[in-house]
Amino acid sequence: MNKFLTLALIAFTFACKSPEARRPISVKSGSFIDASVERNKKLNAREQALIEKFMTQKQENDYIASESGFWYFYNTKTDIDSLQTPAFGDIVNYDYDVKTLNGSTIYSFAELKTRTYTIDKEELFTGLREGLKLMKAGETVTFLFPSQKAYGYYGDENKIGSNTPLMCKVTLNSITKTKDD
């Protein structure tokens, strides 16, 4: 009986050990993300160089770097300070075309027709959405968008390919202010 009690005590001691953490079957590293970041940095640098080359070839324009990561110049500028730029919810009426940086037309003014857009309430590619907010009624501005501000990796699944920097000439016809209480 004494042996049985000792054996039961030893078995009970080893049976009550604390649980161990399970190890993952596969270990994932950040190598995919690191590689993706590196690819995007190279793509961004390449597009930056293309846009800078374009700007040095066309020095007759006064280029402005936006806070949003694209460049633009005024074809027609309104110097009337009383005119306002559109704000959230305002409705804008505009015309635009889309070209490659070498000047090849992708979509003409006639193809795209006059558009109406409610600021920040409808779908529009990032660069144009931000660009319209910089304009006053009656102005025409040419924007130079790197691909991440245009149609990015997927393009428009029609005429604009993957990772294509774009040049868009935009005329803002009117701004209809809305009241948000």
Q: Which residue has the tokens 């390919």?
A: 161
Q: What tens digit of pLDDT does each residue of 68-77 get? A: 999 999 999 9
More confident residue, 134 or 6: 134
- Say which residue, 94 or 16, is predicted with more confidence: 94
Q: What is the pLDDT of residue 77?
A: 93
Q: What is the pTM of this model?
A: 0.80
**DSSP sequence for 46-57:** HHHHHHHHHHHH
At 103, which amino acid appears? G
22 confidence band (pLDDT: 50, 70, 90) = confident
pLDDT score, position 83: 81
Predicted local distance difference test score (pLDDT) of residue 181: 41
- Residues 23-79 have pLDDT tens digits of 767 656 678 888 888 998 999 999 999 999 999 998 899 999 999 999 999 999 988
Q: How many CB atoms lie within 10 A of CB 133?
A: 17
User: What whole-number distance in Å separates Cα of residue 149 and Cα of residue 164?
Assistant: 10
Q: Are 98 and 106 in contact (CB under 8 A)?
A: yes
In CATH terms, the fold of domain 61-176 is: Chitinase A; domain 3 (3.10.50)
Supply the pLDDT for residue 17: 60
* pLDDT for the residue numbered 147: 95
Could you tell me if 149 and 165 are in contact, meaning their C-beta atoms sit under 8 angstroms apart? no
**Confidence bin at 115 (pLDDT 50/70/90):** very high
pLDDT for 48 equals 93
Tens digit of each residue's pLDDT (9 = 90 or more) over 4-13: 777 766 766 6
Tokens standing for 134? Answer: 């910089």
For the chain, give the mean pLDDT.
Answer: 88
pLDDT for position 29: 64
Confidence at residue 176, expressed as pLDDT on a 0 to 100 scale: 95
